[in-house]
Amino acid sequence: MLARRRAANLIVIAALLPFVSAYAQSLEYPARMGKIIAPYAPGGTYDALAREFSRAFTTSLGQSFIVENRPGAGGNVGMSALARAPADGYTLAIGSAGVLAINPWLYPSMPFDPLKDFSPIAFIGRVPFVLVVNASLPATNLKELIAYMKSSGKSFNYGSSGVGTVSHLFGEQFKRQTGVDMVHVPYKSSGQVLQEVVAGRLQLQFAPLVELMPQIQAKTVRAIAIAGPNRLPPLPDVPTLTELGMAGFESPTWFGILAPSGTPHAIVELLNKETAKAMGEPGLKARLAQAGVEPQAMTPEQFQQFIVDEYGRWKNIVQQSGARLE
């Protein structure tokens, strides 16, 4: 009887060891250097956010956090690396609508499951897009733009930063809801698209405000509507597409910090609090605003549910667009 009891106790202890180990690790976290994966090349929003929070975590947690750029396959390479990393809080990544909610419906196969392979840490914020047109078009608002496009008998082109990007999907959504005839012209970057809109070779574009503002101020393009939940302080007189009766443009793209699935809850909670604290710093708030990011705090649980909701929402948008990548 005593032998059986000892054996049973050993089985229970063995089963608890992983949890005890994870708890012990969380108590001393961080004890060494960590990293934040940016799943795109240096110079973009992912890279900028990874560097901002690596600096913030290094300062507040007392251990260095470095940035590792892992571009490829629309962000899939970097997020796949995160999914395979140990769930110990020392490897994080910047995720977004593109890699977590859009790519699963674009690619025939995915190297990770966005709903199961990650522990959401903290939501960073949304990046609203703006619909702009070439300044020579005789339209100052959405109603005039749709009427002109339907009555002119001309062919209209809209540009995007690539097949399956938010700018492409919004263009297709706009096309379906308004019934206007438009042709999609993909480019490698939204900057190239903007140059073509200014030159008049393209007629319209959806892009983040931070990229468009100089040309809006120079009056080479005209802002027609905001693809986001609210009007924007720099453009207080430009209405949202939601205000104008068009659905599905409320949350164009967003960013957050994630860890591998199974990361100890204590570490997740700590990093969530550190992220919120960093976003409350005046300097970081100003830099996020310059990058066109509208900060918003969420608990890890709220962020998880947000990803689930966005995953389903973008499924319909992608499938209706017909976009597909190999």
Q: What is the pLDDT of residues 4-13, one digit of tens each?
A: 666 555 565 5
Contact criterion met (CB below 8 Å) for 152 and 287 = no
* Domains observed in the chain: 7-127+253-321 (3.40.190.150), 129-227 (3.40.190.10)
Amino acid at 89: G
Q: What is the mean pLDDT of the chain?
A: 89
Instruction: Say if residue 13 is exposed, middle or buried (CB neighbours under 10 Å; 0-12, 13-18, 19+).
Output: exposed
Q: What is the pLDDT of residues 266-294, one digit of tens each?
A: 999 999 999 999 999 999 998 888 777 88
Closest CA to 168 of 206, 115, 215, 128: 206
Higher pLDDT, 25 or 46: 46
Q: Are strands 65-69 and 34-38 parallel, antiparallel or unpaired?
A: parallel
SS3 (DSSP) at 234: coil
Closest CA to 131 of 141, 121, 123: 141
Locate the DSSP E strands across 25-139. 34-38, 65-69, 91-96, 118-127, 129-134
Contact criterion met (CB below 8 Å) for 84 and 294 = no
Locate the DSSP E strands across 112-252. 118-127, 129-134, 156-160, 182-186, 204-208, 221-227
Where residue 37 falls among pLDDT bands split at 50, 70, 90?
A: very high
SS3 (DSSP) at 177: helix
pLDDT value at residue 14: 55
pLDDT(194) > 90: yes
Q: What is the pLDDT of residues 121-144, one digit of tens each?
A: 999 998 889 999 999 999 999 999
pLDDT(242) > 60: yes
Closest CA to 253 of 83, 134, 94, 78: 94
For residue 140, how far is the Cα from the chain centroid? 30
